[in-house]
Amino acid sequence: MRLLFVEDDPHLASAVIRNLEASGFAVDHAPTRADAEACTRAARYDVMVLDLGLPDGDGLELLRGLRNRRDPLPVIVLTARDAVADRVAGLEAGADDYLVKPFAHEELVARLRAVLRRPREDLGDAVRFANLTYQPSAGTFTVDDGRPLVLPRREHMLLATLMRRPGRVVTRGVLEEAIWDFAQEIESNALESHVSRLRRHLKEAGAAVEIRSIRGVGYLLRAATS
């Protein structure tokens, strides 16, 4: 289980990390909100433990940002604040659970396991790539912090297929199968024209991705190089 631990207190952090690693978690440590933002964009985690009082901002803002871009990453908020209002604010911002400092290590681990056992259907199995998010359960794409990207049906299917394999070549056959019914006659350049319309829509929406054509093979979705 890969865990992101966001905590600025170095003594608390090293003790908690040692315990978490002993409990089988692979831990990345982010001592600031900026570090945590960078980690969540660069890597995939199974769960986050988030301190609220950070030197460069409020952990709740970080959490709201995640939820605004439909990131379903389970988050346990960890804080010295124990007022009911703070707890409610944490849960309303999208925390899955709340633990007040000081806490026993066993309790943190028990809560982590409980959160990780929970089905994620309510948030959907979102797929994220660059600044683009695909929510398969809702069938929606969003850019950045939740701006909806609405596409014609075939472009939608095309992008959904590419989003499942970002950075890898998806063959023409797979893409054609995804967007046309078997019975349909496909014109030889039909896929190309859908791809070029999709490229235009992505650009207009400000999506930081590009669709590269791999001649004779298929297409590849990658982060846009500016």
Using CB under 5 A as the binding rule, whether residue 136 contacts Ca ion is answered as: no
Query: Which residue is listed with tokens 């912090």?
Result: 145
**Binding residues among 139-158 for Ca ion as defined by CB under 5 A:** none
Residue 7 CB, nearest distance to Ca ion (Å)? 6
Residue 186 CB, nearest distance to Ca ion (Å)? 58
Contact in structure between 151 and 134 (CB atoms under 8 Å): no
Q: Looking at beta carbons only, is 41 or 101 nearer to Ca ion?
A: 101
Q: Looking at beta carbons only, is 51 or 97 nearer to Ca ion?
A: 51
From candidates 8, 58, 86, 210, binder to Ca ion by CB under 5 A = 8
Three-class SS state of 94: coil
Q: Looking at beta carbons only, is 64 or 81 nearer to Ca ion?
A: 81
**Binding residues among 158-217 for Ca ion as defined by CB under 5 A:** none
Element (H, E) at 143: strand 140-143
**Binding residues among 35-54 for Ca ion as defined by CB under 5 A:** 51, 53
Please name the residues in contact with 139: beta carbons below 8 A apart, sequence gap of 6 or more: 156
Neighbours of 164 (CB within 10 A): 16
Here the tokens at position 224 are 């846009």
Contact in structure between 40 and 66 (CB atoms under 8 Å): yes
Query: Which residue is listed with tokens 């014109």?
Result: 187
Phi (first) and psi of residue 206, to 5 degrees: 80, 20
- Relative to beta strand 2-6, strand 47-51 is parallel
Residue 177 CB, nearest distance to Ca ion (Å)? 51
Compose the 49-78 pattern: x for residues touching Ca ion by CB under 5 A, - for all others: --x-x-------------------------
Which residues share a beta bridge with 143?
Answer: 132, 147
Residue 77 CB, nearest distance to Ca ion (Å)? 12
Q: Looking at beta carbons only, is 8 or 35 nearer to Ca ion?
A: 8
Q: Looking at beta carbons only, is 16 or 162 nearer to Ca ion?
A: 16
Applying CB under 5 A, the residues found at the interface with Ca ion are 8, 51, 53
